[in-house]
């Protein structure tokens, strides 16, 4: 059902983009919008990971420069039967993380210095398992495409003022309405897609690491940090906010129409229920580490993140 809903929402985003083009310049405008949509998606498909990582100043690390962090991602990727993604660190004190890339073979994960300094290794594992779940579900491409559409719709709607006397004659009132409502509608679709995928990634992430409470604990800490610490790069690039595990812009935990993420408390409750369900079913952790094992003994440490 989540994939069906996502498909419908992507179709709605495309339809909205074409409709804006039609209202601005009739059939010719719709045709131009269609060509632009194809070009945007082709560019996003091949360059989405590079664009987002560059926006947030992420630096790539490896087993030598960040052994503990890199080792966590490597073990989780093996447990999820995924190719090893490229691993990045963002230099920001706000605890947060995201994943990007067009497919599992061309993917990347990024965690902030704030996250690696604030969270325990188990909590970091829960977060990175969530991000790998997005990669496994191919959410990263979907989220990048919606962000591209949302930005383009906002841009083209702002051009509407120059085309208000076009063949469709929507007038100044219609033009103003288009400039306001089109970007608003695009944002709603973008946010809805993001919220749809977060719950699925939480559950799959818990399965990848084998411990739902690691992610639940991490979400509580990240949400608190997000409310108190500004993420400057995210504020400059708000269209990428939905890609983070927790909203990097405001930290508000309101599960409403205009929230980029589900209510953090609701996500934590769902993970707690999953943990209780596993306990009742006597389901052992199937992640790379169990509660009894010290996974860090196999990973050399060099500071909080290597």
pLDDT at position 204: 95
The mean predicted confidence, pLDDT, of the chain is 77
Enclosing domain of residue 151: 2-298
Strand-pair category, 106-112 with 97-103: antiparallel
pLDDT digits (tens, 9 = 90+) for 57-103: 999 999 999 999 999 999 999 999 999 999 999 999 999 999 998 88
Residue 155 has pLDDT above 70, yes or no: no
pLDDT digits (tens, 9 = 90+) for 106-143: 999 999 999 999 999 999 999 999 999 999 998 887 77
**Which has more pLDDT, 119 or 157?**
119
What are the CA-CA distances from residue 181 to residues 6, 147, 160, 170, 237 (Å)? Answer: 21, 17, 12, 14, 21
Please give the tally of structural domains in the chain: 1
Instruction: For residues 132 and 138, give the distance between their C-alpha atoms in angstroms, rounded to a whole number.
Output: 10
What count of Cα atoms within 13 Å lies in the side-chain half-sphere of residue 301? 8
Q: Is residue 303 part of a domain?
A: no
Q: Is residue 48 part of a domain?
A: yes
**Active site (catalytic) residues:** 131
**Which has more pLDDT, 162 or 216?**
216
Q: Which three-class secondary structure state does DSSP give residue 109? A: strand
- Whether the Cβ atoms of residue 267 and residue 219 lie closer than 8 Å to each other: yes
Instruction: For residues 247 and 253, give the distance between their C-alpha atoms in angstroms, rounded to a whole number.
Output: 9
Instruction: For residues 155 and 141, give the distance between their C-alpha atoms in angstroms, rounded to a whole number.
Output: 21
Instruction: For residues 234 and 238, give the distance between their C-alpha atoms in angstroms, rounded to a whole number.
Output: 6
Instruction: For residues 233 and 87, give the distance between their C-alpha atoms in angstroms, rounded to a whole number.
Output: 19
* Pick from 6-20, 52-66, 79-93, 271-285: least confident: 6-20
Q: Is residue 306 part of a domain?
A: no
Instruction: For residues 299 and 281, give the distance between their C-alpha atoms in angstroms, rounded to a whole number.
Output: 32
Residue 251 has pLDDT above 50, yes or no: no
Q: Is residue 305 part of a domain?
A: no
Q: How many CB atoms lie within 10 A of CB 37?
A: 19
The reported pTM is: 0.75
Q: Is residue 304 part of a domain?
A: no
pLDDT at position 52: 86
Instruction: For residues 172 and 175, give the distance between their C-alpha atoms in angstroms, rounded to a whole number.
Output: 5
Q: Which among 216, 285, 219 has a CA at the least distance from the CA of 251? A: 219
Q: Work out the average pLDDT over 4-30.
A: 69
Residue 246 gets the label, from left (phi > 0), alpha (psi -120 to 50) or beta, of: beta
Record the tokens describing residue 266, joined without a space.
Answer: 């609701």
């Amino acid at each position: 059902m989540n994939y069906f809903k996502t498909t419908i929402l992507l179709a709605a985003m495309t339809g909205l983009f074409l409709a804006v083009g039609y209202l601005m310049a009739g059939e010719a405008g719709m045709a131009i919008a269609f060509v632009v949509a194809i070009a945007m998606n082709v560019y996003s498909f091949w360059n989405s990971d590079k664009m987002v990582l560059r926006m947030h100043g992420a630096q790539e690390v490896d087993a030598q420069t960040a052994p503990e962090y890199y080792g966590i991602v490597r073990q989780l990727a093996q447990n999820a039967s995924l190719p090893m993604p490229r691993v990045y660190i963002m230099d920001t004190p706000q605890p947060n993380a995201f994943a990007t890339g067009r497919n599992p073979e061309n993917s990347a994960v990024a965690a902030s210095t704030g996250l690696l300094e604030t969270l325990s290794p188990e909590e970091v594992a829960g977060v990175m398992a969530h991000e790998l779940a997005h990669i496994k579900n191919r959410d990263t491409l979907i989220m990048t495409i919606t962000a591209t559409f949302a930005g383009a719709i906002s841009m083209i709607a702002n051009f509407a003022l120059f085309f208000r006397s076009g063949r469709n004659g929507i007038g100044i009132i219609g033009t103003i309405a288009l400039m306001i409502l089109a970007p608003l509608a695009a944002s709603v679709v973008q946010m809805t897609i993001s919220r749809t995928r977060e719950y699925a990634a939480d559950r799959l992430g818990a399965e990848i690491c084998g411990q739902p409470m690691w992610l639940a604990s991490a979400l509580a800490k990240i949400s608190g940090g997000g409310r108190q610490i500004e993420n400057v790069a995210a504020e400059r690039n708000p269209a990428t906010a939905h890609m983070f595990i927790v909203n990097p812009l405001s930290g508000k935990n309101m599960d409403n129409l205009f929230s980029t993420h589900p209510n953090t408390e609701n996500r934590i409750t769902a993970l707690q229920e999953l943990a209780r369900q596993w306990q009742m079913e006597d389901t052992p952790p199937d992640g790379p580490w169990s509660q009894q094992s010290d996974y860090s003994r196999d990973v050399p440490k060099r500071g909080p993140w290597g």
